[in-house]
């Protein structure tokens, strides 16, 4: 595959216990073509090493190096996964010659394959243009089942990423592209945004969100004191779809937690709020796949953002394996 690289064992290092106490001892570096159909719970980590969409969107490039840095940080963390749970690093999708569209297409194909092999995909990026390929991979998998199953997207983000792709697609257009595809197919566009900031979206984006019936929670409301209300909104959203695809844009977090992103701001949300919401989403039993976008090691401080991303993966992997 032109836009695919094999997993790298050298990323997976850390304390050695010889008792699988750490995730680098647990993980299997498994090329996609060697990945078997899972007979028990199995999690697959897939990188999206592409920031061409960030460059097109006038952001700070560097996120192409994000997947490997997240994997390295994750591998050093303690392993609490049961012996009956498998963990695979299946490599990364890459972007050559700024051909983002081909990378998105490759990503979609691999996501479909992972779901067919009964893996739970966790994608690591990379620009948020990853979302377009990720969604299409999930949809292709569900369409093949011919059961008319609906997908709900929950995006933890400061930005709607609903920019119109009239000139060129980029990291700010994926959900507009998805919405337009849904319109063409005559299906509902189910999109919930959590953490939207008024200082990060112009009036046209808010109008587009209204036109597309997007449900969103502003950042000043996306706070722990209002968790019960937000949990109610998440549950109501989940009730109306068959599957949930979660995407977490690291630039939605305050730069106090995530300085290493393409578009940092001190005004973002906290990790604790996201973790509480993830508990509700995973508890619904409808989470089909998840990604983490916009990790930019070039601007990170003491690996702080990488550790945040790895901690989110740690939480999701363990929660999914226990659900």
Mean pLDDT on 181-201: 97
pLDDT classification of 146: cutoffs 50, 70, 90: confident
249 is in an annotated binding site: yes
Mean pLDDT within 315-319: 98
- What is the percent of the chain where pLDDT is above 70? 100
Kindly report, residue by residue over 56-81, the tens digit of the pLDDT. Answer: 999 999 999 999 999 999 999 999 99
- Tens of pLDDT, residues 239-266: 999 999 999 999 999 999 999 998 999 9
Amino acid 323: pLDDT: 81
The DSSP code sequence of 61-93 is --GGGHHHHHHHHHHTSBP---TT-EEEEEEEE
Strands (E), 157-240: 190-196, 215-218
Is pLDDT at 315 greater than 90 in this prediction? yes
Structural domain of residue 278, as residue ranges?
4-322
Q: At 288, is the pLDDT very low, low, confident or very high (cuts 50, 70, 90)?
A: very high
Task: Check residue 8 and give its pLDDT.
Answer: 98
pLDDT digits (tens, 9 = 90+) for 29-51: 999 999 999 999 999 999 999 99
Q: Which residues contact 44 (CB under 8 A, 6 or more apart)?
A: 35, 88, 90, 114, 117, 119, 120, 121, 122
Check whether 188 is labelled as a binding-site residue. no
Q: What pLDDT, on a 0 to 100 scale, did the predictor assign at position 91?
A: 98
The domain spanning residue 255 has which CATH number?
3.40.800.10
Q: What is the mean pLDDT of the chain?
A: 97
Supply the DSSP symbol for 299. G
What total number of domains does the chain contain?
1
pLDDT score for 142: 97
pLDDT at 279: 97
Q: How many residues make up the chain in this entry?
A: 323
**pLDDT digits 0-9 by tens, 204-222:** 999 999 999 999 999 999 9
Q: How confident is the model at residue 2 (pLDDT cuts 50, 70, 90)?
A: confident
**Helix (H/G/I), strand (E/B), else coil: 130:** helix
Residue 159 annotated as binding?
A: yes
Q: Would the annotation count 251 as a binding residue?
A: yes
Confirm whether residue 242 is marked as ligand binding.
Answer: no
Q: Can you tell me the distance from the alpha carbon of 129 to that of 139, in angstroms, rounded to the nearest whole number?
A: 16
Residue 189's pLDDT is 98
Judge whether 128 is annotated as a binding position.
yes
Residue 145: the pLDDT is: 87
Per-residue pLDDT tens over the stretch 86-95? 999 999 999 9
The two three-digit tokens of residue 294, written as one number:
């916009």
Q: Is the pLDDT of residue 297 over 90?
A: yes
């Amino acid at each position: 595959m032109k836009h695919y690289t094999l997993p790298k064992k050298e990323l997976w290092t850390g304390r050695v216990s010889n008792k699988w106490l750490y995730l680098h001892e647990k993980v299997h570096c498994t090329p996609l073509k060697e990945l078997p159909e899972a007979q028990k719970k199995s999690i697959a980590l897939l990188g999206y090493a592409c920031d061409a969409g960030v460059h097109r969107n006038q952001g700070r490039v560097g996120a192409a190096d994000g997947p490997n840095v997240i994997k390295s940080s994750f591998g050093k963390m303690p392993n609490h996964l049961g012996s009956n749970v498998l963990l695979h690093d299946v490599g990364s999708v890459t972007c050559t010659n700024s051909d983002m569209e081909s990378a998105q297409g490759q990503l979609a194909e691999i996501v479909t394959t992972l779901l067919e092999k009964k893996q739970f995909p966790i994608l690591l990026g990379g620009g948020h243009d990853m979302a377009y390929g990720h969604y299409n991979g999930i949809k292709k998998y569900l369409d093949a089942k011919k059961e008319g199953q609906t997908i709900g997207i929950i995006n933890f983000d400061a930005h709607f990423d609903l920019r119109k792709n009239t000139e060129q697609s980029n990291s700010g257009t994926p959900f507009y592209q998805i919405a337009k595809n849904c319109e063409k197919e005559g299906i509902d566009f189910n999109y919930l945004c959590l953490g939207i900031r008024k200082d990060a979206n112009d009036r046209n984006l808010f109008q587009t969100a209204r036109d597309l019936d997007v449900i969103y929670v502003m950042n000043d409301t996306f706070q722990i004191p209002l968790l019960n209300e937000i949990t109610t909104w998440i549950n109501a959203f989940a009730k109306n779809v068959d599957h949930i695809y979660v995407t977490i844009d690291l630039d939605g977090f305050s730069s106090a937690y995530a300085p290493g992103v393409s578009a940092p701001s001190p005004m973002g949300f906290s990790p604790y709020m996201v973790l509480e919401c993830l508990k509700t989403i995973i508890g619904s039993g409808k989470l089909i796949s998840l990604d983490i976008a916009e990790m930019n090691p070039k601007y990170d401080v003491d690996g702080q953002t990488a550790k945040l991303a790895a901690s989110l993966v740690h939480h999701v992997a363990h929660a999914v394996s226990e659900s």
